[in-house]
Amino acid sequence: MIPLALLLIGFSLFSALTLALIHFRRENYQDQTIAKIMGLILMLALCGLQLAHFAWLYLDQAWVETTLYRMTLFAVAPTFYLFSQPLLRPQNESRIRWMQLWHMLPVVAAPWLPGAAALPAAFIVGAGYLLWLARSLFALRHERSNFHLELMLLGGVFAIAIGVSVLGLIQTALPEKLFFSLYAVSIGLAFLLVQLTLGLRPQLSTEVSEAAQESYASSTLTNVDCDAALSGLNSLMQSEHIYEDAELSLPGLAAKLGISPHQLSELMNTRLGKGFSRYLREQRIDAAKAMLRDEPSASVLSVGLSVGFSAQSNFYEAFREIEGMTPGQYRKLHPRNKTPR
């Protein structure tokens, strides 16, 4: 078990670094600054735990018995809560107020807890936050068809978290290093599932947030001419190519249509079956596909920038997500149709 734990500790550290650099970017957390900050803190906390596990399992250095380890352990669940809340709650409920700092009280109390009680208490606290997460995800049950596979993978992370919580309550009955080996393995497997989930849906955080807004809100389309709004949306995309604006946002697009951002979001979700971010990526990818076919001399980077992506990495990420291949592969499979002489 220890060799597997050490292997997954290394994977966890590498995975946390790649998530920090690639996933936690501004475009994936538009108007969700708190979620982004808390996500980065969560990555740092999990890395701290894995480093302590490595020191104990490989170097026999008892970092897992230190006060810092205990505080970090208590910090994981509330940090995850503060990361998830802005994504899973309506916008007017998602602002983190000063009173919510009470979530960090267990971290402050950790140094004064007896060593034998600290780990079980940390996992009891974690179990409480898991119940909140389950309740919040249940509220998105009507959106499950849009996130079927992704929710299955995240369900695996949830199952791992439950298993770790149970182990934490009985850790004193386990052999000396077995619990920390299992805990390190669990964190590594959770990172693996998260990476697989984001590989399938890189902007999952944005899309889940949009779905949450709809699931908690009552309809705002009563006084909206939906057909006219959809016709105007199609005209903006097909005739004016507004998707080419790299700074295009939901509020900006809604203003052009003369409706509120929430009305536009609800319209897209109910009539088109997708959120704003997904819809915009699809429009840009459709335009990119045409350019890749019709302009063979244009570089892939210039194509991506021309259709509204702010960086080549964003273009490649979206293209793989929607088409299942890179832009270069698509171009090879779809050469320009030559006009016969």
DSSP string, 129-176: HHHHHHHHHHTTGGGTTTSHHHHHHHHHHHHHHHHHHHHHHTGGGS-T
- Would you state the structure tokens that stand for residue 22, as one six-digit string? 């690639």
Per-residue confidence (pLDDT) for residue 95, from 0 to 100: 47
The amino acid at residue 341 is: R
Q: Are residues 114 and 249 in the same domain?
A: no
Region label for 273, one of left (φ > 0), alpha (ψ between -120 and 50) or beta (otherwise):
left
Asked whether residue 96 is assigned to any structural domain, the reply reads yes
Q: Are residues 77 and 151 in the same domain?
A: yes
Q: Are residues 206 and 262 in the same domain?
A: no
Q: Tell me how far CA of residue 83 lies from CA of 34, 139, 156, 224, in angstroms.
A: 7, 17, 19, 34
| Structural domain count of the chain | 2
Q: Are residues 267 and 137 in the same domain?
A: no
Asked whether residue 34 is assigned to any structural domain, the reply reads yes
Work out whether the CA dihedral 11, 14, 20, 21 comes out positive or negative. negative
> Which of 156, 179, 211 lies at the terminal end of a domain, its last residue?
211
Asked whether residue 261 is assigned to any structural domain, the reply reads yes
Query: The domain that contains 326 carries what CATH number?
Result: 1.10.10.60
Helices (H), the chain: 2-18, 33-58, 67-88, 105-109, 115-138, 148-169, 178-200, 204-216, 226-238, 250-257, 261-267, 276-294, 300-306, 312-323, 327-333
Burial class from Cβ neighbours inside 10 Å (0-12, 13-18, 19+) for residue 97 reads exposed
- Would you state the structure tokens that stand for residue 337, as one six-digit string? 């149709």
Q: Are residues 13 and 61 in the same domain?
A: yes
Q: Are residues 274 and 181 in the same domain?
A: no
Q: Are residues 16 and 162 in the same domain?
A: yes
Q: Which of 158, 230, 153, 247 is nearest to 193 (CA)?
A: 153
- Would you state the structure tokens that stand for residue 138, as one six-digit string? 């249940």
Burial class from Cβ neighbours inside 10 Å (0-12, 13-18, 19+) for residue 90 reads middle
Q: Are residues 105 and 156 in the same domain?
A: yes
Work out whether the CA dihedral 175, 181, 187, 189 comes out positive or negative. negative
Domain hosting 73: range is: 2-211
pLDDT in tens, the chain (341 residues): 899 999 999 999 999 999 888 888 776 776 677 788 888 999 999 999 999 999 999 999 999 889 999 899 888 888 888 887 776 665 544 445 555 667 888 888 888 887 677 777 887 787 777 777 766 666 565 554 555 555 666 667 667 777 776 776 676 667 778 888 988 998 898 888 888 777 766 666 666 666 666 555 555 677 888 889 999 999 999 999 999 998 898 889 999 999 888 788 888 887 887 888 889 999 999 999 999 999 988 899 999 999 999 888 889 888 988 898 999 999 988 887 654 43
Q: Are residues 148 and 247 in the same domain?
A: no
CB-based contact 91:36 (threshold 8 Å): no
| 10 HSE (CA, 13 A, CB side) | 6
Q: Are residues 205 and 239 in the same domain?
A: no
Q: Are residues 168 and 199 in the same domain?
A: yes
Q: Are residues 295 and 200 in the same domain?
A: no
